Amino acid sequence: TDPTPLLEVTDMVVDYGRIRALHGISLRVERGELVTLLGANGAGKSTTMRALSGLLPLTTGRIVFDGQDLTRVKAHERVRLGVVQAPEGRGVFPGMSVQENLDMGCYARKFETKADYAQRLDWVFDLFPRLGERRTQLGGTMSGGEQQMLAIGRALMSRPRLLMLDEPSMGLAPMVIQQIFRIIAEINAQGTTILLVEQNAQQALTRTDRAYILETGEVTKTGTGRDLLADPAVKHAYLGVG
C-alpha cells in the first residue's frame, strides 16, 4: 500500500481581503480514512473546504493530493483528479429531476462507458433507495433530508477519491441525521476516503477515525474520534456536558 497520505495540507493561510480566516492550518487524510473537521460557527470550516475545492486561493501554504501539488490547480481540474465536494443540501438543482441532478455529477469525467455509468448509478441507488424511487421528481420538491442525499449522490456519481462533505446534518431532524451519518459511514466502509465538516460533534466523533478541532482559523486539537469524545475540554465545548 502507498504510504503517502491521500491529502496533506501544510500551513494553509486564507484571507478574505484584509480578514484572515485561516491562520496556517495543517492536516492530513490517509487513504481510506474518515476524517472530521469540528468547530463552532465562524471557526473556518467552510473556508477550509472551499480552499481545498479550489474556490478560494491560498495566501500561503500547500495542498498536496496523492503526491501532487494542488495549491494552484483550478477547481474543475481538482474534481477531475477526484477531489469532490458535495454541495450543501440546498445546492441541488431545484428545477431538474433527481436523475438529471445525478447526471450533472458526471460531467467532469468525460471518457466513461455506459456500463461504468450504469454501475455508478446502481451504487448510488443502493446507498439511497429513496433516490431510485424518485428518479423523475424535481430536486426542489424533495424534503431537506432527501435533498442532502441527492447532493451526496451527485458527488458520488463522479466517483470521488476524496469526498468532502460540508455539514450534511445541517437543518435536518434527528432521525434523518442518524440516517445520513450511517450512510456516510457506509460510503467510507466501501472504500471512499471522506473529509467531513460538522458541528454535530456527538454523531461525527462517534463515526470518525480522526478529527481536527478548529477554533478561529487554527487547529487547536487533533486525535481519534474516541479520544476526543472522552476529552473533558471537548465534552464541555462541543458536547454540552461537564
Could you list the residues that contact ligand ATP (CB under 6 A)? 16, 19, 21, 39, 41-47, 199
Would you call 103 helix, strand, or coil by DSSP?
A: helix
Question: Please, what is the minimum distance in Å from the beta carbon of residue 14 to ligand ATP?
Answer: 8
Q: Are the C-beta atoms of 193 and 31 separated by less than 8 Å?
A: yes
Q: Angle 114-127/144-156 helices, nearest 10 degrees? A: 150
Residue number with CB closer to ligand ATP (54 or 105): 54
Residue number with CB closer to ligand ATP (21 or 163): 21
The type of residue at 48 is T
Question: Please, what is the minimum distance in Å from the beta carbon of residue 122 to ligand ATP?
Answer: 34
Residue number with CB closer to ligand ATP (20 or 161): 20
Question: Please, what is the minimum distance in Å from the beta carbon of residue 121 to ligand ATP?
Answer: 32
Backbone angle region of 61, left / alpha / beta, with phi > 0 → left and psi within -120 to 50 → alpha: left
Residue with cell string 500561503:
60
Q: Angle 114-127/174-189 helices, nearest 10 degrees? A: 140
Question: Please, what is the minimum distance in Å from the beta carbon of residue 201 to ligand ATP?
Answer: 12
List of E strands, the chain: 7-16, 19-29, 34-39, 60-65, 68-69, 83-86, 162-166, 193-198, 210-215, 218-224
Question: Please, what is the minimum distance in Å from the beta carbon of residue 45 to ligand ATP?
Answer: 3
Residue number with CB closer to ligand ATP (38 or 184): 38
Q: Are the C-beta atoms of 214 and 39 separated by less than 8 Å?
A: yes
Question: Please, what is the minimum distance in Å from the beta carbon of residue 37 to ligand ATP?
Answer: 8
Question: Please, what is the minimum distance in Å from the beta carbon of residue 42 to ligand ATP?
Answer: 4
Residue number with CB closer to ligand ATP (98 or 234): 234
Residue number with CB closer to ligand ATP (97 or 202): 202
Q: Are the C-beta atoms of 157 and 120 separated by less than 8 Å?
A: yes
Residue number with CB closer to ligand ATP (33 or 166): 166
Question: Which residue in 142, 137, 135, 188 sits closest to 165, CA to CA?
Answer: 188
Q: Are the C-beta atoms of 212 and 37 separated by less than 8 Å?
A: yes
